[in-house]
Every structure is written in structure tokens, then in C-alpha cells.
Chain A
Amino acid sequence: MSIQGHELHLLTGAYAADAVTGDELAEFEKHLESCATCAEEVRGLRETAARLGMVTAIEPPPWMRDQVLAAASRTRQLPPSHGKLAALGVPRHVTPLRQRRALSRPVAVAAMSALAAAVVVLAVFQVNTRGQLQQSQAGDRGIAAVLTAPDAYIEKGSPSVGGTVTAVISQHDGEAVVTTAGMPDPGGGKVYQLWVISAAGARSAGLMSGGSTNPTSPVLADDVQPGDRLGITVEPAGGSSRPTTTPIILLSVST
């Protein structure tokens, strides 16, 4: 490889991060056509960069879906290309202005449908959590906040009754979201109850549903401090103010 080729090769990372512009970009893309090792390295680093992108996922506004599907139904698709593709098959082009206008946000309608969708989401959520302590919309938002918190980490455990318990914990927010899967129905009208256990004692965080192989609706525990533990006990219907049985699982919040 020439010295110049070697210099260009060092651009694979910056190129994969879309941080190369102008003449240098054109030069590098030309180089890629003749440098198989560079192309292979770019391919791998693009996958890595894509994963940095994937973890930023947030739910787009609900109106966007209809808007995009409608736009697709009136947009002609490109035929397959047999010629040389743009580097790595990712097309560079600009959506025509007319299309952009068709995609612009219908403010009033969007606001209305977003509201309607939020109400539906909330309704579904509350149906899912029937039998648990009532979840307010604030709690619902709190759950999303924990699950998407930048410092969120996972603690998983196997309760003595079988199944799994998953806690997503954000130390920064001092909150944890707990779900269970595959725990048997406690039977006899009993319920599973989640506790935040600290030196000061056990505090109820809510009731958990069991008897489902799928992950159950999440329960949000707040004011969770490093060193605390999250525990689940079997309690009489309606739950207890203090744990009355031995926890079927204890998860530690790391310090």
C-alpha cells in the first residue's frame, strides 16, 4: 500500500462515523472501490456505529407512522441498480422538496392524534396492570424514564418459585423498574408484592402480577438507594403493609 493509501486507510473510522466531508470524502470513497481491506473494515465499523445509533432509540410521535405509510403509498420506488453502487450501497440523495412538503407536520391534527394515542396507550397500560396498585400516568412516564436513563443497568435473578425477575435500575434517578416472567400464580387469591428494603426496613413498591410466561407489567420503585435491596414476597390479596413471608427473591442495588 502506498503512503497515501495508508493515510487514507486511517479514515475508515471517521468515515464510518460520517465525520469526513468534502474532497477528502470523495477521495476516500474512490479509494474504497480499489481497497478491499478498507471496504471490509468500513463495513465492520459501520455495524459498530449503527449499534451506537440503535441504543438511542426513542418512540417517535404516533402520527408519524400514518404519515410515512401514506407517503410511501404515493411514492414510486427505485428499480434495482446494476451499475456501481455508491459506497457500500447506501444512497446519497436528497428528497425532492415537494415530497418534503408532503411530509411536513400537520400541527393541529398531529397534536390531536398524539393526544388520542397517549390516551390509548394509557388505557392499555391500566388494563394490563389491573389487580396491581393503580398506576398513574406519572408512574407510567417514570417507567419510561428509568428504562431509557443513560445510566440504567440490569439486575436479573431467579426467584425460589421459578421464573425470572428483571430489574432495570437507574442510580442517578434513584428508581428501579421491575418485571417478572414465568413466575407461577401464587394461588389462593394471594399476590406478589415488591419491596424496597433498606436499613430502615421494608417499604412497599406495589403489587406484581404472576402466572404469565411473558414479562409482566412493570412496577416502578422510587427512592431506591445504593445498598438497598429489592425483594418480592407472597402476600394476601391486596398486599400487606409489611412483608409477612420470606422473600422469594432479593436483588441488590449496587453501591
Chain B
Amino acid sequence: MNTPSTSERPDGAGHTEGHGQDLSGLLARVARGDHEAFEAVYDQLAGPVYGVARKVLRDPAQSEEVAQEVMLDVWRTASRFDASRGSAAAWVMTIAHRRAVDRVRAENASVAREQKLAPGPVSGDDVHQLVEMALDRQRVRRCMGSLTTLQAEAIKLAYYGGYTYPQVAGLLGVALGTVKTRIRDGLIRMRDCMEVT
């Protein structure tokens, strides 16, 4: 049975590179039209791609559409991935996040954005990966906790909320320049915090 991987075990310098098959190597094979490699990429990243779409869009149907488009983009544009510019996971997640926020901004999709996510069934095989993900979630949460309230709020609204930084400024009632710098210094702090763990 095929259960999509819902976890990437980021570690050290490789950041979001996979614990299983090396994602960069897989993407190089995908660029050459290797369907088997594409399946492996799908299994490693469809969960995070769908997750980030759900986080930003909330609406399951729209998130499913976006996730499919992103995975098909990965197939189509794998030859454009350049490992010297960043990790494969970050490349795919960037495509996913951009598509999700583009959708929000195009349609201002507010349908059911407050809907709570219902977790699906889980097999014994998924548990290891879910535990890894919980560890990573714990790390992200801990690092997020090391930020100032304004930094954390600004990052959450921008990244998870899909708001532009001027919108974030409006929502938080602070100056544009302040939001700009808080998102930057907050992300820098997150980066440093997660690197040392």
C-alpha cells in the first residue's frame, strides 16, 4: 500500500532534505522523465504540499486543486531545479506556498477558512514519520516561541495566513517598515534557532 510520506526529517546543513531517498537526486531523475522517481518525490512531498495549501487556503477542494497543480509543476519544471540555489524540499515548498497565496489573492478565497482540519486515518507504518514530524513541529514551535510576539504574529500572518506584508501591517496596526523588518529579523532568528538543534 502506498501511504504518502508526511514527514521530512530536516537535519543540519541539508535542511529539509529527505531521510529516505535524496530529493535532489530524485528531481534530477524526474527531469529526465523518470516516472518512478516522480512517484518517490510525490510520496515524500505531497503531504507537506497539501498541508501548506490547507493552511493557507483552508478550503479542502481548493487545496486539493492547488496541491495537484504543484505536484504537476514539479514534474514539468524539474529541469529548472538547481541544487546550488537551495534544497529540493525548499524549492517544492516555495512553489506550493506561492501557488496557495496566489490563489488566495486572486479569489480572496475566504470560504471556510476557519474550518478545522480533520486528520485522516493512520497506519502503523506512518507512525515513525508522524513522530519525526511531531519532533520537527516541536522544534519549530520552540523556535517560534523564542521570537517576540510581533515577530511571531507577523510571520504567522504572512506565511500561514498568506497575507501581504502591507496587509499584515494593517492587521497588526503597525508601520509598514516595522512589519518588513520584524518578518526579516524574526525569520533570521528562526533560521539560527533551528540550525543549532
Interface residues of A (CB under 8 A from B): 10-14, 16-21, 41, 43-62, 64-65, 67-69, 71-73, 75-81, 85, 88-93, 95, 99-100, 103-105, 118, 120-122, 124-125, 128-129, 137, 140-141, 143-145, 147-148, 150-154, 166, 168, 177, 179, 214-218
Nearest-CB distance from A130 to chain B (Å)?
11
Contact A154 B135 (CB under 8 A): yes
Given A50-B90, A55-B136, A120-B1, also A69-B125 (CB < 8 A):
no
Give the number of residues in B that approach A within 8 Å (Cβ atoms).
99
Q: How many A-B residue pairs have CB under 8 A?
A: 313
Picked from B10, B47, B164, B187, the residue with its CB within 8 Å of the CB of A13 is B187
Give A119 to B170 CA distance when docked, in angstroms: 47
B81 surroundings in chain A (CB, below 8 A): 89
Residue of A with least CB distance to B117? A58
Give A150 to B16 CA distance when docked, in angstroms: 20
- Name the residue among B42, B64, B98, B185 with the largest chain A CB count within 10 angstroms: B64
- Name the residue among A13, A67, A69, A93 with the largest chain B CB count within 10 angstroms: A13
Contact A55 B101 (CB under 8 A): no
Main secondary structure of the interface of B (DSSP, over half): helix
Nearest-CB distance from B171 to chain A (Å)?
12
- Name the residue among B16, B120, B141, B188 with the largest chain A CB count within 10 angstroms: B120
Contact pattern, B 46-63, Cβ under 8 Å of A = 1, otherwise 0: 111111101100000100
**Contacts A10-B180, A128-B123, A144-B119 supplied; 15 other A-B pairs, CB < 8 Å:** A10-B181, A13-B185, A14-B158, A45-B187, A48-B190, A48-B191, A51-B194, A54-B8, A90-B94, A95-B73, A121-B123, A124-B124, A143-B122, A144-B122, A179-B131
Given A55-B137, A144-B120, also A16-B187 (CB < 8 A):
yes
